[in-house]
Amino acid sequence: MSKQINVALIGNPNTGKTSVFNQLTGLNQKVGNYPGITVEKKEGICKLPRGLKAHIIDLPGTYSLNASSLDENVVIELLLNKNDKDYPDVAVVVSDVENLKRNLLLFTQVKDLGIPTILVVNMADRMERKGISLDIERLEEKLRTKIALVSARKNTGIDELKEFIINYKHLSTEPCVNASVIDPEYFEGLRSAYPNQSLYKLWLVITQDVNFGNLNRNELAKTSGFQTKPESDLKRLQQKETILRYQFINGVLKESMSVDARAAKDLRSRLDRVLTHKVWGYVIFFAILLLIFQAIYNWSSYPMDMIDEAFAQLSEWAKNTLPEGAFTNLIAEGVIPGLGGIVIFIPQIAFLFLFISILEESGYMSRVVFLMDRVMRRFGLSGKSVVPLVSGTACAIPAVMATRNIENWKERLITILVVPFTTCSARLPVYLIIIALVIPDRSFWGFNLQGLTLMLLYLIGFGTAIASAWILNKILKIRSKSYFVIEMPNYKLPMLKNVGINVVEKTKSFVFGAGKIILAISIVLWVLASYGPGEKFNNAEEIVSANYSEENPVSKADLDEEIASYKLRNSYIGIMGKGIEPVVAPLGYDWKIGIAIISSFAAREVFVGTLATIYSVGSDEEETIKNRMAAETNPILGGPLFTFASGISLLLFYAFAMQCMSTLAIVKRETNTWKWPLFQLVGMSAFAYLVALAAFQLLK
């Protein structure tokens, strides 16, 4: 077997790097995490001509090798560590033809590391429209590299790029810029202290605060006695280096690129005039949000009903077909309803990821950041907090990670703390089933009442996040200096392939991640609900039958039902549930909901699966989860268990409570202390309890 060529894809954000990655690898890719940190690691295999293969790693987007975030550290750590198994044989720097000048900054840095580097000029299909012409030969000669003109959208230039990758050994590894001219004396000192190392590498090691395996900044300082400079001097030198690089780039582009400015008046400015308008910009943003939530609610109801029905039938089928016994019961009453509780939400979650992915891909999200920055700052947040808050509607975990590009620590911390209030997709299952039970399915001014309620819950989520940010901003005493820069990328029609891959990946990880927990919990619950201690559980039949006699007859079905519910009450779970009932009864819940809430502290979406499992134990009929819940009665007040009051109370409890262990874990990791996740857990859950209590007591 021939050796695979290790390729690293590097590039600025918004250059279509991921599209190039998708074109090279197709669906032959895998997404994981870098060990120990939560930065997403995307790698894939690319088939090259002549039976060769390349292992491609898609590094996080970065503007330069001067890392300022965890994601960017990954890039530089890999490029400086020759011993890493992913250390690239060849680097591919992806650039956007319209931002070539800025993109070349990163290119020159990578090339100066002595790694063979290919330049991809992406979005070549836009050149003509933008009046850009490039002298590729000239550019190749000046940059001492090979250049592939690629349009990931039109799928052109990819074969040429593959050829370059195969022939990477012929690429020049000479640097573009001699960085040592910014301070010859200092660099001379460096060279004599470490004669065996590449000078530019040393410089990066000194100026960056990251881990480099065998080459470490502190080691450098200790071993050699080489006197480095104070931080502020180094910063000034970094600025000089940037200016130097731009001088080189300007020189190169002057000879090889020309832009006809008349052609460049374009779609972007026309769209921006409306989309970032002082009034229309906001109107459009809120209209888009409204549309998304209505769509999620209305469009996904059809596939969801079908899935619900299918699982009920599957459960029935399993019961009738498999040999009778404990194992069959476990499958039919524990596993299948539990899994049904998660599969049913695939349509909605997929729709949500679809919309978020389209907003990101099209470039619209940056406009929202721009529009909202000033408003958000009033609440101690940043415009960049909008992205975590919006993606928090999918899941708080990627949302907490998305705060990494917020430069100001205080703004970032507040964003992390309030993000779990936004309505994540795990709350959807709970919301949907309760809304379906307690809110009438009627139209109000053309809007579906149930859809409006859902929208209201989302607004409550955002509102609480914003309000608590405002309070935290007043309480937290953190001084941090910062700045705010955000790129406003070009508008792009989202590529079907990118959006599709994104939706599939995210939905898959949601389903499998949650699926595992739910499966485990439903099995445990089923066991606890199917067995009980003592006489009462074991002799349930006799005890219940004893209540009836010839004079007081009862139908067989009713009797069975009563026996089943008597058994459930005296099972292990029933006894535990009864124990917590006094705590949840003032909120309008019975002990079954209490158990479901407790098990939801592992993950919220477990709620529906838990109820499904508890309710289906002992029941013979094929029923959907929703019908079973509607049939429940309140043990204390009588009447249906799920009324308007208890329903609203439950909705509000789930809106505010911190019930997600994974989020707590990620917050711990991102803030580096248990203080903040504990603060969230206690604060949010106590608040949720009080609000739910007030709601039920006022409405009942």
Partner 1 sequence: MKLTLAQLRCGQRGIIKDFSTEDVPLKLLEMGCLPGNEVEVLQTAPFMDPMYLNMNGSHLAIRKETALHIEIELID
Question: Which lies closer to partner 1 via its Cβ, residue 245 or residue 592?
Answer: 245
Q: CB-wise, 411 or 623, nearer to partner 1? A: 411
- Smallest gap, in angstroms, from Cβ of residue 61 to partner 1? 13
Contact letters (x/-) for partner 1, 547-586, by CB under 8 A? ----------------------------------------
Residue from the set 41, 101, 126, 497 that interacts with partner 1 by CB under 8 A? 101
Question: CA–CA separation, 171 vs 164, rounded Å?
Answer: 9
Residue type, 168: Y
Residue from 120, 358, 369, 499 touching partner 1 (CB under 8 A): that is 369
Parallel, antiparallel, or unpaired: how do β-strands 443-444 and 29-33 relate? Answer: unpaired
Which residue, 259 or 290, is less far from partner 1 as judged by CB? 259
Q: Which stretch binds partner 1 (CB under 8 A): 161-169, 362-370, 529-537, 593-601?
A: 362-370
The answer to whether 154 contacts partner 1 (rule: CB under 8 A) is no
User: Judged by CB under 8 A, which of 334, 340, 429, 489 binds partner 1?
Assistant: 489
Using rule CB under 8 A, residue 68 touches partner 1:
yes
Choose the binding region for partner 1 from 160-168, 269-277, 520-528, 541-549 (rule: CB under 8 A).
Answer: 269-277
Member of 34, 45, 52, 66 binding partner 1 (CB under 8 A): 66
Interatomic CA distance for residues 439 and 457, integer angstroms: 13
Can you spell out the DSSP letters for 250-299?
Answer: HHHHHHHEEE-GGGG--HHHHHHHHHT-TTHHHHHHHHHHHHHHHHHHHH
Tokens of 40: 């997403």
| Minimum distance, C-beta of residue 272 to partner 1, in the bound complex (Å) | 6
One of 170, 254, 278, 442 touching partner 1 (CB under 8 A): 278
DSSP 192-206: HH-TTS-HHHHHHHH
Helix (H, G, I), strand (E, B) or coil at 146: coil
The answer to whether the beta carbons of residues 95 and 104 sit under 8 Å apart is: yes
* Residue of 193, 314, 449, 486 interacting with partner 1 (CB under 8 A): 486
In whole angstroms, give the CA distance from residue 181 to residue 173: 19
67 or 629: CB nearest partner 1: 67
Min dist CB 167 to partner 1, Å, is 31
Distance CA 26, CA 501 (A): 9
Interface region with partner 1, contact rule CB under 8 A, candidates 99-107, 462-470, 586-594, 600-608: 99-107
| Stretch touching partner 1 by CB under 8 A, among 52-60, 173-181, 266-274, 411-419 | 266-274
Nearer to partner 1, 69 or 328 (CB): 69
Q: Which is nearer to partner 1, 38 or 238 (CB)?
A: 238
Q: Cα(139)–Cα(563) distance, rounded to whole angstroms?
A: 83
Question: Looking at 429-437, 477-485, 598-606, 616-624, which segment touches partner 1 (CB under 8 A)?
Answer: 477-485
Q: Beginning with the edge strand found earlier in the chain, give each strand of the sheet holding 90-96 in spatial order.
A: 29-33, 40-47, 53-58, 5-11, 90-96, 117-122, 147-149
CA angle 660, 662, 667 (to 5 degrees): 100
Contact map string, positions 434 to 473, toward partner 1, x by CB under 8 A: ----------------------------------------
126 binds partner 1 (CB under 8 A): no
Fill in the DSSP letter of residue 640. Answer: B
| Token output for 271 | 């769209």
Considering only 370, 409, 470, 676, the residue that binds partner 1 (CB under 8 A) is 370
Q: Name the helix (H) or strand (E) containing 443.
A: strand 443-444
Residue 63 CB, nearest approach to partner 1 (Å)? 5
Tell me the window of 215-223, 369-377, 538-546, 625-633 that interacts with partner 1 (CB under 8 A): 369-377
Cα 143–Cα 249–Cα 90 angle in degrees, nearest 5: 40
d(C-alpha 39, C-alpha 60), whole Å: 8
The 3-state DSSP class for residue 603 equals: strand
Examine residue 246 and tell whether it contacts partner 1 (CB under 8 A). yes
Cβ 466 to partner 1, closest distance in Å?
17
Q: Which stretch binds partner 1 (CB under 8 A): 158-166, 195-203, 351-359, 487-495?
A: 487-495
Stretch that binds partner 1, among 41-49, 294-302, 478-486, 539-547 (CB under 8 A): 478-486
Query: Which letter does DSSP use for residue 116 in this model?
Result: -
* Window 374-413: contact mask with partner 1 (x via CB under 8 A): x--------x-----------------------x------
Alpha-carbon dihedral sign for residues 394, 396, 402, 406: positive
Taken as a whole, the chain contains a residue count of: 700
Per CB under 8 A, 102 contacts partner 1: yes
| For helices 661-671 and 409-418, angle between their N-to-C axes, nearest 10 degrees | 170
* Residue 405: partners with Cβ closer than 8 Å, 6 or more residues away: 69, 384
- Note whether 272 binds partner 1 by CB under 8 A: yes
Cross-strand bridge partners of residue 640: 633
The residue (of 106 and 652) whose beta carbon lies closer to partner 1 is 106
Provide Rg for the chain, Cα atoms.
Answer: 30
Of the candidates 34, 63, 226, 470, which one interacts with partner 1 according to CB under 8 A? 63
Q: Tell the residue number behind the tokens 């936004």, with chain if given.
A: 422
The nearest distance, CB 174 to partner 1, in angstroms, is 23
Residue in 2, 83, 214, 269 binding partner 1, rule: CB under 8 A? 269
Give the largest CA-CA distance in the chain. 109
User: Does 485 help bind partner 1 (rule: CB under 8 A)?
Assistant: yes
325: left (phi over 0), alpha (psi -120 to 50) or beta: left
Angstrom CA distances, 253 to 64, 142, 175, 265, 666, stand at 19, 9, 17, 21, 44
242 binding partner 1? (CB under 8 A): yes
Measured distance CA(483)–CA(408) in Å, rounded: 7
CB of 43 or CB of 98, closer to partner 1: 98
Query: By C-beta, is 108 or 357 nearer to partner 1?
Result: 108
- Among residues 390 and 612, whose Cβ is nearest to partner 1? 390
Using CB under 8 A as the binding rule, whether residue 362 contacts partner 1 is answered as no
Binding mask 295-334 for partner 1 (x = CB under 8 A): ----------------------------------------
Nearest one of 373, 382, 370 to 414, comparing CA atoms: 382
* Cα distances (angstroms) measured from residue 688 to each of 346, 470, 585, 654: 27, 18, 15, 7
Q: Does 373 bind partner 1 (CB under 8 A)?
A: yes
Question: Which one, 383 or 618, has the nearer CB to partner 1?
Answer: 383
Of 128 and 541, CB closest to partner 1: 128
- Residue 642: strand, helix, or coil: coil
Q: With contact defined as beta carbons under 8 Å apart, do 365 and 359 qualify? A: yes
Judged by beta carbon, residue 269 or residue 321, the one nearer partner 1 is: 269
Window 206-235: residues binding partner 1 (CB under 8 A)? 232, 235
Q: Which residues contact 573 (CB under 8 A, 6 or more apart)?
A: 525, 528, 529, 595, 614
Distance CA 87, CA 113 (A): 12
- Tell me, by CB under 8 A, how many residues bind partner 1: 38
Residues that bind partner 1 in the complex, under the rule CB under 8 A? 63-64, 66, 68, 98-99, 101-102, 105, 232, 235, 238-239, 242-243, 246, 268-269, 272-273, 276, 278, 366, 369-371, 373-374, 383, 407, 483-490
